[in-house]
Structure 1
Amino acid sequence: MNRRSLYVPANALVLAWFVGAAAVALGHRFVPVAGWLMVHLLLLGGVSTAILLWSQHFAETLTRRPAPGGARVLWARLLGWSAGALVVTAGMVASSTRLVVAGAVVLAAVAVAHLVVLALQRRGSGRMLGNRLEHLVRYYLAATAFLPLGVALGVVLARVDVSPEVAGRLYVAHVAATLLGWVGLTVAGTIVLLWPTALRTRLSPAAETGGRHALVVLAVGILLVLAGPALGWRPLVLVGSVVVAAGLARIGWHVVEQGRAAARTHGSGSFAAWSLAASCGWFLASVLAFGVTVIAAPGWTAVPDRLTWLVAPFAVGFVAQVMLGSMSYLVPVVLGGGPGAARWSNAAMDRAGMARWTVLNLALGVFLLPAPSWVRVAASMVGLVPLLVFLVLALRTIALQRSERTRRTLAPIAPGVATTPNWRPVRLVGGAAVGVAVVALAVVAGVAVDPAAAGLVAVPATLAQGAGVASAAGATGETTTVQVTMQDMRFTPSRIEVPAGDRLVIELVNADDQVHDLVLATGASSGRLPSGESTTVDVGVVTADVAGWCSVAGHRLMGMTLDVVATGGTTLADEAGQAGETSAEASGDHAGMDHGSGATGTTAPDAPSAAADIDLMAEPDAGWQPHDATLAPVATSGTDEQGMTSEPDPDGTGTLHRITLTVAEREVEVAPGVTQTLWTYNGQAPGPVLHGAVGDTFEVTLVNDASIGHSIDFHAGALAPDEPMRTIDPGESLVYTFRAERSGVWMYHCSTMPMSMHIANGMAGAVVIDPPGLEPADREYLLVQSEYYLGPQGGEADPARIATQNPDLVVFNGYANAYRYAPLTARVGERVRIWVLDVGPNRPSSFHVVGGQFDTVFAEGDYLLRDGGSTGTGGSQALALQPAQGGFVELTFPEAGRYSLVSHLMSDAEKGAAGYVAVTP
């Protein structure tokens, strides 16, 4: 096989993995284990396949010896690796330990085979005259030696149930072996040779010597990092990371020097060169950040979550970018075709290069900032564009270059003319300007979606003046600076006295475990502050009392208010000319914060409640679909419709269920003509149903894709709430594992304060654990009763309405009178079991079926009545439940007809807690 026939299809295999990673990134909300897939399709699939291919290529170049077995053995390794990676991926998606282990065995075998081939190829080559670069093959040998360890650690992490502390130690070791060892060492060794080649310059003797010495430093550093988790001593991880960084800096120094020399003689470089340089910088910074993050964590248990923020710079800044740079250079090389074709291919791969480079690196930088959630989302989407453009350019270049017609049109180049593009200064500046503009537009779009999170809250000018903002003429020239801490739903201090005419500066610290902000009636705002962050708010010159509050939904009602009192000045009531009007009332009405301001605080002033639009005699929208009340049987294997995977528990008892619950904000219809923006688990309210048996284990991954902090609390598990029930900020995730030891229908819900607001806005669901020996029923349904306290149309719940405990709607499964429009069904004589859970947050339930009698009633873990009770003739007419209680009833219907199911708190039934069971013969 010639170079074109080998490398073109082999690189197409690499590109296929990249396409898969891009597809998952675009549709991650709808893909199981999307986080794992995005990282591993890129690293395990595309990057590792490329390393197997190109390390072999460079080893042949450096040793000047063909690889044992030639192209056939290389293809066997490439296809074997892809097959093993596909099996592992399928195992993760299907939650199958057998598939994961089988795929890992194949991967380890390929790694060992690759190591053997490289070792045989290098043996004796060092004695060849003039072979001064042969030592670089040692990088590939050392890198491959770490690979089997990384694969084994990955399997244990993915499929073995270990303690959180052990999982943290294994995670650090897995990252060290795979990312620092396998990928990092390979890249470091390749950069020594590829960098000057991409620059069209010679490798300097100093760079060659630096590469020789750096390998020892890098290997020692990686071993020190691995020793940290092995010995349970985290400081070793930091020490090892510093040593690795020193080895990278040894190579990086020569990268900079050679780049400067090439710029003086060859111009400003190409997309390939700039990408390789940027990847080195991201790698060095990420390694140091890795060590610091591990040592800064409170313990091994917290390390995986703390390292989440480094996924982007490692995977995108370093790995993806080094692949873009190297393949942008190597694709034209392997295509060949003569100087004319080379010039054309290089130009094609370099198209809009500086703009793409700027967008990728700048968007990644914005993503890593403590910016509002929507700004980071917009930055990540824009940052994905250069990766997609690269795929398009690479596939287009390969297709056109392989075309006979295209090759005939590529004229030869005169001797001495460069075959690689060099950016002129005007192209450099112009491309960078375009890239900056694109990212800036993305930031603006993110701010526009959630302006309050960025500190932009519109306050009418008349209110600002009445709230105590003075002109420069009224100022004393003095500044009062006060530090305010946000914690436990309070500002501390909550009252600030300022001499009238002083300028007030607030140093604001968020010491709480969730996102907060400070909004003042003057219009000043801190913007959303994640946990642990701080900022400075310049209130301006204060001449009268000023009200402040947290604009995150419900927080103000919980007591997060701040009073700025101007001593020696007039009160806000005097300024407004309204006796008895308080600053909080004035600012609340005008800023619209108490009436459905929700997560963004951007609701229009005085927006009317959607309660005025309630018409329970109307029909739902044409596209409305009822929540399926059918309770599916307990699964023991496979994946259900809501993405929960089930398999036998590795400990040999019960079933292991895995599900990812993603928090997202979604506007939905809750009654005919009435919409609300709900906070949902997996886009639905109530959330997905988890159904299992006593002894089953549930592993739930919570992902926060919303704009404020959220959490989850499973009543079905008994465990300390400190870690699994903690509030996580937007963009974060956690894993919550519990074992179902007791039967019943259990509530789960967001436990972030104020809980009433989060539950009322949709964040609740059911876990059904069947009692042992539960007989099958002909029909089995689940109804979750909840309440809506309506904000404006399309807005969030009104926290002031929630405090009254007088809901606008009471519903089953999220929609008023849902099962009047789409009745449940049954046949005469069938045994029907109806589970009922009251998630509140405030109202009890008295579940009743009009025309039906219950012969079995199960409530809160025990039977109140079973098969007619002790007399055999006993019956029940209602299942009484308080909020967070549940049970089931069983009945048979004696004749065909429409039977109403209601909460017998009749006012609630009239507010939507009603439906039908349509019984047919």
Structure 2
Amino acid sequence: MRDLPVVLWLVAALVVALAHTWIPAPRWLLIHLTLLGAVTHSILVWSRWFTDTLLRTSTDRTLQNRRLSLLDLGVLTVLVGVVGGWWPVTLVGGAAVLAAVACHGASLQQALRSSLAPRFGIVVRFYLAAAALLPVGIVIGVLLARTQTDPWHERLLVAHAAVNLLGWIGFTVTGTLITLWPTMLRTRMADDAERVAARVLPVMLLGTAVTLAGALAGLPRVSAVGLATYLAGLLLLAPGFVRVARQRPPSTFPAVSALGALCWLAGSLVALVVAFATTESWAVAGGRFTWFTPFLAAGFGAQILLGALSYLIPVALGGGPRSVAAATNVLGRAGIFRATVLNGSLLACVLPVPPAVRVACSGLALLVLASFLPLLALAIRSSLAVRRTPADPVAGRGQGTGTVAPTPVTGPPPGTALALGLVTVLVATVGGIVADGELAAAGPSAAAGVVATGETTVVEVEAHDMRFTPATIEVPAGDRLVIDLTNTDASEVHDLVLDDGTDSGRLAPGESARVEVAVVGRDVAGWCSVIGHRQMGMTLRIVAVGATAETGESTEPGGTEPGGTKDNAGPGAGAHHGPAGAGGSAGAGGSTGQPAPLDPHAVPGTGFVARDPVLPPLTGETVHRHTFHIRDAQVEVAPGVTQTLWTYDGTAPGPVLHGRVGDTFVVTLVNDGTIGHSIDFHAGSLAPDRPMRTIAPGARLTYRFTARRAGIWMYHCSTMPMAAHIANGLFGAVVIEPDGLAPVDRSFLLVQSELYLGAEGGPVDIDKVNAEAPDLVVFNGYADQYDHDPLRVDVGERVRIWALDAGPNRSSAFHVVGGQFDTAYAEGDYLLRRGTGGSQTLGLLPSQGGFVELEFPEAGHYPFVSHVMVDAERGAHGVVEVTQPGR
């Protein structure tokens, strides 16, 4: 079955949607599994089928299967290459996809040439235009995987998406619906359809080309002109489509889905024209386009795919009109209801609704899309069952190929199904509002007993660079207040929370939301709840003009001053990282709930294994390539204590890099987290503006540096507030060995850091960070772990212990109880070399590192600690277990 790979791609997309928390780059995978996998495979199958049907040609099934196999293998290779960060693999996969599509286009061109005066040649020309555009999109996509620095990354991203969505998919869908739309409705095609289509094709081509040029040039308004031109081309077809629909209104799932998909395409184009035309900043325009992409993928791409397949697969299954009708009837079950729920849910997600509503409605949309898979299985079974059942002698007369016979209507009438679908979406929306309102109910009323005036004050507010603009809003007491909030930052996530519990929900770059206060009767305080943003001054004050003294004061949780607080972690904090820090964003909300249960006498469970403290050995590589995925992860940091950490590749500290002076490191950073993050390698010397910038969720960058000096170097997230990002797990070590470093028997690495525990299972407590009051000080991310699983060496072995103080705030005084260091190295130079001298402690400030060497004279248990003793008692403690050789 040629459509089986489509089912597999859709199943894979469903798995990613359900398990997105544990899968890297889930958004990217969802879009590409659906569009590059399922939709592209279907285009190769069905555009050829339509070509053969319209031109009365035939195709070599063996060659077609080879093209499809090459395509699917190429798509799979692209997915593996991009997610794994292996650009050569991505290049090979892209080349395979390009070759498959090029061969497909060549076969269509050959069919068109061999057909004598084809009546529907314009449809095939749409397919040829699409096949010519996809290779452009593929090349841009492969370059995009290689180019991680702005402004080119953002430009290529929009160019890639525009060419593939509007060109490859848009042209194919438009050309197909010229004939498929009236066929779905079982009515005649408009008389002027071919003539109009011939005028539309060059207009759409021009629009695509201008959009592409604007994207590559970084000119949003040029792209807006291109998008408007493309839309104008589509609108030329609209009168004919409407005339056909008036003859027989859409009432089946395939037809309603096709109509819904076209509405999403046209509506998205209108919104994008406005979004691009109203900004000169490509970062803002790119963010807006990125925000729309999932809706185009689901509302347009996925919906037209499932609608078309619901009509075409029964035809492909064959078996005569009875068999086709049976399969069509199954795939069309509850069609109006399903289409209404899908489109209503997606529309709700587009609107400025609370986060809980988006979760509920997106879940509904996913459920509707996923329902196609079991219905397809039932349709195939039904088709086969009908084939095995002898036909009624009269009803079966004339069985054969032809158009699909009308199928009996199942389920409620269309009007009832439409109403049920709308009610379902409404119930999900209300449920989300109620769930979201439980938090709002915890805050004091903003009305404060003031009588409503019936007037409304509307204010536009921008969230940008750790500030709300304007930061003060004056509202006549008793007015209703509407705040249209837009996140105009290029990479940070923000929100707005008011002290009455009203919450905008998290806004990605370019997103907007509406925050409403029914009656403003007192001063109201607002702030960004992303970790650290409020402390950096991201606060807002609503002043009730004319309120009485008794009702005019704002209140905030914890009794802080109206308008929020601002402490030492202001915009200038961490100024030595200026350009990187300037793009800061922080975590997914502060810790709430019960504090993490910290028991100093607790022990890990049975089978506990400490993080491997052995320094990874050097390899022969001189160019080290790595991909770091930033993930939010539930991590145990002490016995019975779990925190949500921000991690590089799921661990804190992150992966250890080990090399020599002169080695080059190429690190691809992929942000699979929920907020903006970054990375700063102290081991490299380069301008921080581009490689250390904050990247938004779903984005990636490539950081390339050459290690020119020896030492143990820290790397960390430099997004503001930096202390919070480091304290919550985004740090690690790079060891660059000095030339001529003597070999040793054992080499260990210990990274000291602090933990400021939030609620159990929650993220860092920013107030504790700012107060410099850690709950735990640990080696390699877990309190006292090497007490329970010691470092093991033999008597007389030479031992080197590399140490790094990752901070963010406290110094380290590394000491081995019962041992003496005969060699000490810190910050790129020796403090002590082997001889008669000795050292007892290696002192390190935050971000400093070095190593010590020693030999243990006899068997026993040698504790190692930070000799800042309160920190040793907080968890900076471990044991070296020394045994006689052979034991």
Q: TM-score range by the shorter chain?
A: 0.7 to 0.9
Report the Cα offset of residue 747 of structure 1.
Answer: 3.3
Q: Is the 8 A contact 1:901 1:914 kept in 2?
A: yes
Cα distance, 1:671–1:401 mapped onto 2, change above 3 Å:
same
Distance 1:629 1:393, change over 3 A: farther
Change (3 A) 1:585 1:659: closer
- Contact preservation (8 Å) 2:504, 2:513: no
Q: Which residue of 2 aligns with 1:53?
A: 45
Inter-CA distance 505–684: structure 2 relative to 1 (3 Å threshold):
same
Separation (CA, whole Å) in 1 of partners of 2:187 and 2:343: 26
Residue 808 of structure 1: how far off its partner (Å): 2.3
1:323 aligns with 2:305: yes
- AA in 2 matched with 1:896: A
After superposition, where does 1:164-243 map in structure 2 within 5 Å? 164-228=150-214, 235-243=221-229
How far off is 1:497 after superposition?
8.0
Alignment counterpart, residue 630 of structure 2, candidates 661, 668, 671: 661
Cα deviation digits, residues 131-182 of structure 1 (max 9, x gap):
52233222222222233333333333334x5864444554444345433333
Alignment of 1:246 with 2:212, yes or no, is no
Check if 1:738 corresponds to 2:704.
yes
For residue 139 of structure 1, the aligned residue among 98, 119, 126 is 126
Is 1:457 aligned to residue 440 of structure 2?
Answer: yes
Mapped contact 2:635–2:643 kept (Cα < 8 A): yes
Alignment of 1:618-697 (within 5 A): 618-621=602-605, 626-633=610-617, 654-662=623-631, 664=632, 666-691=633-658, 694-697=662-665
User: Does the 8 Å contact 1:844/1:882 carry over to 2?
Assistant: yes
Residues 783 and 875 of structure 2 are in contact (CA less than 8 Å); yes or no, is this contact kept in structure 1? yes
Does 2:101 align with 1:111? yes
Cα deviation for residue 618 of structure 1 reads 1.8
- Say whether residues 1:10 and 2:9 are aligned partners: no
Question: What amino acid is the match of 2:602?
Answer: A
Q: How does 1:344-363 map to 2 (within 5 A)?
A: 344-363=326-345
Q: Cα 1:897–1:165, aligned 2, differ >3 Å: closer, same or farther?
A: same
CA contact (8 A) 2:455 2:479 kept: yes
Cα displacement (A) at 1:185: 1.7
Of 211-220 and 18-27, the range deviating more from structure 2? 18-27
SS at match of 1:887: strand
Distance 1:654 1:216 in 2: 48
- 8 Å contact kept, 1:745–1:769: yes
| Alpha-carbon distance in structure 2 between the residues aligned to 1:277 and 1:426 | 20
Equivalent in 800, 821, 835 of residue 767 of structure 2: 800
Deviates more, 1:719-728 or 1:811-820: 719-728
Is contact 1:744–1:887 with CA below 8 Å preserved after alignment?
Answer: yes
Distance 1:776 1:296 in 2: 63
For 1:481 and 1:315, the matched residues in 2 are separated by 33
Cα deviation, 1:751-802, whole Å, max 9, x if unaligned, reads: 4443333433334334444556656655443333222333444444443333
- Give the aligned residue type for 1:79: S
Give the letter for the 2:102 counterpart: V
2:13 to 16, 21, 35: 21
Please point out which of 757, 765, 778 is paired with 2:724: 757
Q: CA deviation at 1:51?
A: 1.7
Give the 3-state SS of the residue equivalent to 1:251 in structure 2. helix
Label 1:601 to 1:537 Cα distance change in 2 as closer, same or farther (>3 A): farther
Change (3 A) 1:753 1:93: closer
User: Structure 1 residue 470 and structure 2 residue 457: aligned?
Assistant: no
Which of the numbers 614, 628, 643 marks the counterpart of 2:598?
614
In structure 1, the residue matched to 2:864 is 901
Q: Does 1:64 align with 2:56?
A: yes
Alpha carbons of structure 1 residues 351 and 843: separation in structure 2 relative to 1, 3 Å: same
Distance in structure 1 (CA, Å) of the matches to 2:236 and 2:38: 28
Contact 2:525 2:562 in 1 (8 A): no
d(CA) in 2 for partners of 1:104, 1:479 = 54
Length, aligned pairs only: 856
TM-superposed CA distance for 1:256, in Å, is 2.8
How big is each residue's C-alpha offset from its partner over 1:281-317, in whole Å with a ceiling of 9 and x where there is no partner? Answer: 2223344555665666656677765532233133222
1:81 aligned to 2:71? yes
Match of 1:782 in 2: 749
Question: 2:186 is aligned with what amino acid?
Answer: R
Alignment pair present for 1:846 and 2:813: yes
| 3-state SS in 2 of match to 1:123 | helix
Cα separation, 1, equivalents of 2:713 and 2:279: 33
1:236 CA displacement: 4.1
Residue 251 (structure 2) aligns with: 269
Counterparts of 1:671 and 1:162, CA distance in 2 = 37
The superposition leaves residues 618-662 of structure 1 with CA deviations (integer Å, 9 ceiling, x where unpaired) of 2235586543434434678xxxxxxxxxxx8xxxx7233223223
Q: Is the 8 A contact 1:830 1:892 kept in 2?
A: yes
1:857–1:262: structure 2 CA closer, same or farther, 3 Å change rule? farther
Which segments of 5 or more consecutive residues in structure 1 lack a partner in the other structure? 1-8, 577-581, 637-647
The change in CA–CA distance for 1:411 and 1:195 in structure 2 (over 3 A counts) is farther
Aligned equivalents of 2:739, 2:414: Cα separation in 1:
71
Query: What is the alpha-carbon distance in structure 2 between the residues aligned to residue 619 and residue 45 of structure 1?
Result: 49
Secondary structure at the counterpart of residue 614 of structure 1 = coil
Call closer, same or farther: CA 1:508–1:33 in 2, change over 3 Å: closer
Kept after mapping to 2: 8 A contact 1:831/1:891? yes
So what's the TM-score if we normalise by structure 1?
Answer: 0.81
Matched, 1:148 2:135: yes
Structure 1 residue 904 displacement after superposition: 0.8
For 1:394, the aligned partner's letter is L
- Residues 1:85 and 1:909: Cα distance change in structure 2 (over 3 Å): same
For 2:581, the equivalent position in structure 1 comes to: none
C-alpha change, 1:780 and 1:382, in structure 2 (3 Å) is farther
The one-letter amino acid of 2:666's match is F
CA drift at 1:712: 4.5
Give the Cα separation in 2 of the matches to 1:483 and 1:229: 28
Q: Distance in 2 between matches of 1:124 and 1:232?
A: 43
Paired residues of 2:355 and 2:505 also in contact (CA < 8 A): no
Number of the residue aligned with 1:643: none
- Relative distance call for 1:510 and 1:215 in structure 2 (3 A) is closer
Alpha carbons 1:338, 1:412 under 8 Å: kept: no
- Tell me by how many angstroms 1:328 deviates: 0.6
- The 3 A distance-change label for structure 1 pair 567 and 239 is closer
Q: Quote the Cα distance in structure 1 between the aligned partners of 2:163 and 2:457.
A: 53
Correspondence for 1:4: none
Task: Name the residue aligned to 1:3.
Answer: none
Look up the SS of the partner of 1:670 in the other structure. Answer: strand
Displacement of 1:62 in angstroms is 1.2
User: Which amino acid in 2 is paired with 1:81?
Assistant: L
Which residue pairs with 1:6 in the alignment?
A: none
Q: Work out the CA distance in 1 between the residues paired with 2:286 and 2:343.
A: 25
CA contact (8 A) 2:447 2:478 kept: no
SS of alignment partner, residue 876 of structure 1: coil
Identity, % of aligned pairs?
45
| Cα distance, 1:80–1:889 mapped onto 2, change above 3 Å | same
Decide whether the 8 Å contact of 1:525 with 1:537 is kept in 2: no
Q: 1:802 to 1:102 in 2, by over 3 A?
A: closer
Query: In the alignment, which residue of structure 2 is the partner of 1:259?
Result: 245
What is the aligned partner in structure 1 of residue 383 from structure 2?
A: 401
Can you give the 5+ residue segments of structure 2 that lack an aligned partner in the other structure?
Answer: 567-585
Whether the 8 Å CA contact 1:147–1:182 is kept in 2: the answer is yes
Relative to the length of structure 2, the TM-score reads: 0.83
- Structure 1 residue 439, shift from structure 2 partner: 4.9
**1:64, distance to aligned residue in structure 2 (A):** 1.4
Q: Does the 8 Å contact 1:339/1:412 carry over to 2? A: no
CA displacement at 1:363 relative to structure 2: 3.4
Report the CA distance between 1:94 and its aligned residue: 5.2
